[in-house]
Amino acid sequence: MSYLLVKLRSGIVQGLRGIYANICDGCSPDKVIKDLNKYPTYERIDKYIDFVWFDDPISGVDLRRFVAKWEGFLVVRKPGIYRFFMEADIGGRLYIDGRLVIDAWNKTLQKVWSDRIEFKAGAYRIDIHYYNTTPFGKISVGWQRNDEVAAIIPPENLFTLTGSSVIITNVHKSYRIILVAEPIIKEAVFKGGIAFIPIGMRKEPLSGYIYVYDHKNNIIYRSPYIEDIWPGDIYSLEYQINDIYNVSSIYFNYVSADS
Section 66-81 average pLDDT: 96
Q: Compute the average pLDDT of residues 119-131.
A: 97
Domains annotated on the chain, with CATH: 13-161 (2.60.120.1560), 163-246 (2.60.40)
- What's the rounded Cα separation, in Å, for the pair 182 and 179? 10
Per residue in 197-247, pLDDT (tens digit) is 999 999 999 999 999 999 999 999 999 999 999 999 999 999 876 554 444
Confidence bin at 126 (pLDDT 50/70/90):
very high
Reported as a pLDDT band with limits 50, 70 and 90, residue 113 is very high
- pLDDT over threshold 90, residue 22: yes
**Does position 12 have pLDDT exceeding 90, yes or no?**
yes
Q: What is the pLDDT of residue 1?
A: 66
User: Which whole number is the average pLDDT over 90-113?
Assistant: 92
φ and ψ at residue 249, rounded to 5 degrees: -75, 155
Rounded to 5 degrees, φ, ψ at 145 are -100, 130
Q: Identify which of 228, 203, 230, 231 has the alpha carbon closest to the alpha carbon of residue 97.
A: 203
* pLDDT tier at 173, thresholds 50, 70, 90: confident
Contact 38, 32 (CB under 8 A): no
